Structure 1
């Protein structure tokens, strides 16, 4: 056997991201380019899966392998043959279909039978000694709920005490968008091949994929010559956007940021956003807010410049600032509406969040100088649909938002998606469930606003901001756990990610 290595660390996953519908063509083109058959690629996939299985679960001696009626099932037959040759006990259950197996899967099945392997029916009882379940039921072509007997096998696997290892994608999860229209495998680990699919990174993916591994099946060099339409971004991407500052730089070089919000009783929102901007390197931050908030904001963070929000200060600040952030704590009363009406006349780069988005939903407009940062509920209002429709296809939702509102859209949530009017799209592979608490979005607005003021394009500022935000939260989670994480906790770690040179060992 050849020595096929897989990538162990999430940060070593490729940054290229492909639509699920492109994977079959990519696989065939890559095989043709290297003079390989698709069956040879299947053998490589099965070998890579078996090698990973032995490394992650070295003490597992009895495997239950669930094979579907497709090429994903073919990978399972290859794993079964390798496991049996290695002296492991294998129980293999396979689903039959109304059509013949694909040629490659049929070869793998025949090889398993020729080696003395046994195929059990889907309703066969499961042995008590199972120590690991290998999920090779459904692949990347699924776009509807799993049918019987697949649905029952998925449910049985999920309720079994043994860990589950998914090949390519957890069965029942939609590779195109990360939804689970029916039952879906909850894997402890997943090994995906050839290219990353969006459904592994966004939506319900975090609930099902487990630890994500990747193997290129030795197509690395050829894959690197292909232009992926989309991108996965993580903490390792930050060096692409953020470089060390020149020794002679001054505060004027680092952006003058105007932040508008904080009606009576919502000072916390604008304070979090404003401090996040300072902590992300903004040169100067000027806050326009309700007069009741001026004293508390200056006391809490004297580095801010704070004025009462009125027509005079708005005119002055909009002329002075390089970037405008509006929305945190803005409210939807006449005070907030008036401020937004003035701000929207500016042609400077701007970010709209929170109540600015709720007001935008009432009076939609399209502009190219703006970033909007909706969570799924706000996105639903902006598109006049229900929140469940946003979550049912996050990629489609973000593309619809860009088409309708222009500029750059950040659709927040598990696997935040950033998209631009120019067709750019990235998924932020950072963040955790501890971020599901008040104020996190305000902090993100401040970070993105600050990076925009530091001469990043709107799309790059949005990507870098999402990554720095999520990576700081991941570090907090690793130090203290997720439950009880506060938005302001991120300030203690944010400096590491807006200064990515600090993450690189000094030579």
Structure 2
């Protein structure tokens, strides 16, 4: 056991994510190349989990381990043995199954018994005063709803007041998609082993993983030689996209952005998009909208250049702009449709959002100079499916969208996914429940549009924009909580993250 197993103060997550199915197929080869026998790898996993639990819950004495009939259960037996040796009162409930345990899990179970430990059946009455529950039931191989006795144990664990600590992944959560086909453990903490998997970062993950921890079990060097499935994006990466500005820069260097939208009753949407672009550093922002919106926009944000949307002003704006954003408050009537017909022929970098996407669904067109930013409902319309289809496989849906529509796709939600037509994929590991309110998407469009205007590529602008958006909301949540957060609350705080040197 190395010092890294018991000297830590906070979780440290990788920025590389690997497919769970791929990892299951190659894990043994990685261990062999690293010179680590598979049983020793299991011992490392159990030790990493044990020391993390001990650090999180130092005063607890009564631990309950729920062990499945696979290698995840083997990890649980290792935790049980270490906990008992440390003086904890450990109870192990194990799920019986017709086929034998994998060799390493059987060895861990035998070691637990040899140390004096008892393996109780899954339907055994739970001991009183359990203080910590260790979920070692199903691991990363799940593809269908858990069946009894797993299902019954998951329900019982969720009803119990003791915190649950999940090994590798909460049982019932699909490690590749983040979907929950049935009952799922709702963990307070999860430690995932060897590599981050998509399912702990997107889909329903945030509802069930609790705080996420990571341990590569000594296989980090091997993983670095393999190609990850996708990147994990966090605020730590912002300096890569947003270096300090040239002291001699002028507004023309920072780009000219045209924003089109704001039909009757939707002046707020276009105002939030315009201000977000300015707050993120766009040099000049011109808004074309309904004439009735002009006074309120100029009063709220006089730095915006605003004009009524007509065919002439639209063509002039397209000639003037470096980048175009269309969709916030656009509506689906003839006013918005006519504007979109003109904009869709533009060969400059563009972002389409909101009603532009609803209109696009009726006339699918593939373009390589465009970012689209659908939420799951818009994504379902774009793919002629249902929201449930999108949420069951968010990563697959993002890839379908980019194949059909080209450019870059930002599939919004908890664990926003980004996909580019060159094959790049990422998950934005930022944001919180406070962002589930009206106008957040309008702000995101302005952020990404503002970064595009500053000459970031489509993909980099989308990645950086999603991180700035979510990290700003996380900053506000720490100070004020998530309930009652408004989209406009983000606007004055954006500067903290578009100038990452301030938080370095």
TM-score (norm 2): 0.98
Partner of 1:60: 60
Distance 1:276 1:418, change over 3 A: same
> 1:440-451 alignment to 2 at 5 Å?
440-451=440-451
CA distance in 1, matches of 2:263, 2:341: 16
Structure 2 residue 159 is the aligned partner of structure 1 residue 171? no
Q: SS at the partner of 2:361?
A: helix
TM-superposed CA distance for 1:324, in Å, is 0.3
CA distance in 1, matches of 2:229, 2:62: 41
> Is 2:202–2:427's contact at 8 Å kept on the other side of the alignment?
yes
TM-superposed CA distance for 1:150, in Å, is 0.1
TM-superposed CA distance for 1:34, in Å, is 1.6
TM-superposed CA distance for 1:144, in Å, is 0.5
CA distance in 1, matches of 2:78, 2:258: 60
Partner of 2:27: 27
> Is 2:16–2:231's contact at 8 Å kept on the other side of the alignment?
yes
TM-superposed CA distance for 1:348, in Å, is 0.3
Partner of 1:477: 477
CA distance in 2, matches of 1:24, 1:312: 59
CA distance in 2, matches of 1:158, 1:372: 38
CA distance in 2, matches of 1:5, 1:323: 49
TM-superposed CA distance for 1:13, in Å, is 0.5
Q: Write out per-residue CA displacement over residues 304-363 of structure 1, whole angstroms, 9 at most, x where no aligned residue.
A: 000110010011000110000000000001000000000001000000000000000011
Partner of 2:100: 100
Partner of 2:16: 16
Q: SS at the partner of 1:134?
A: strand
Structure 1 residue ranges without an equivalent (≥5):
none
CA distance in 1, matches of 2:486, 2:342: 33
Partner of 1:375: 375
> 1:30-109 alignment to 2 at 5 Å?
30-109=30-109
Partner of 1:298: 298
Q: Write out per-residue CA displacement over residues 370-401 of structure 1, whole angstroms, 9 at most, x where no aligned residue.
A: 00000001001111111111111111111111
User: How many residues are matched?
Assistant: 503
> Is 2:95–2:121's contact at 8 Å kept on the other side of the alignment?
yes
Q: SS at the partner of 2:139?
A: coil
Across the aligned residues of Structure 1 and Structure 2, the Cα RMSD in angstroms comes to 1.0
Q: SS at the partner of 1:4?
A: helix
TM-superposed CA distance for 1:36, in Å, is 1.3
Partner of 2:318: 318
Partner of 1:358: 358
TM-superposed CA distance for 1:440, in Å, is 0.2
Q: Write out per-residue CA displacement over residues 49-75 of structure 1, whole angstroms, 9 at most, x where no aligned residue.
A: 111011000011010000000000000
TM-superposed CA distance for 1:8, in Å, is 5.1
Partner of 1:226: 226
Q: SS at the partner of 1:427?
A: strand
> 1:75-154 alignment to 2 at 5 Å?
75-154=75-154
Q: SS at the partner of 1:273?
A: helix
> 1:307-346 alignment to 2 at 5 Å?
307-346=307-346
> Is 1:80–1:112's contact at 8 Å kept on the other side of the alignment?
yes
Q: SS at the partner of 1:232?
A: strand
TM-superposed CA distance for 1:5, in Å, is 3.1
Partner of 1:348: 348
Partner of 2:195: 195
Q: Write out per-residue CA displacement over residues 105-133 of structure 1, whole angstroms, 9 at most, x where no aligned residue.
A: 01001111111110000110001121100
CA distance in 2, matches of 1:483, 1:409: 28
> Is 1:4–1:47's contact at 8 Å kept on the other side of the alignment?
no
Partner of 1:503: 503
Partner of 1:280: 280
CA distance in 1, matches of 2:227, 2:298: 49
TM-superposed CA distance for 1:220, in Å, is 2.3
TM-superposed CA distance for 1:264, in Å, is 1.5
TM-superposed CA distance for 1:297, in Å, is 0.5
CA distance in 2, matches of 1:404, 1:71: 40
CA distance in 2, matches of 1:358, 1:442: 15
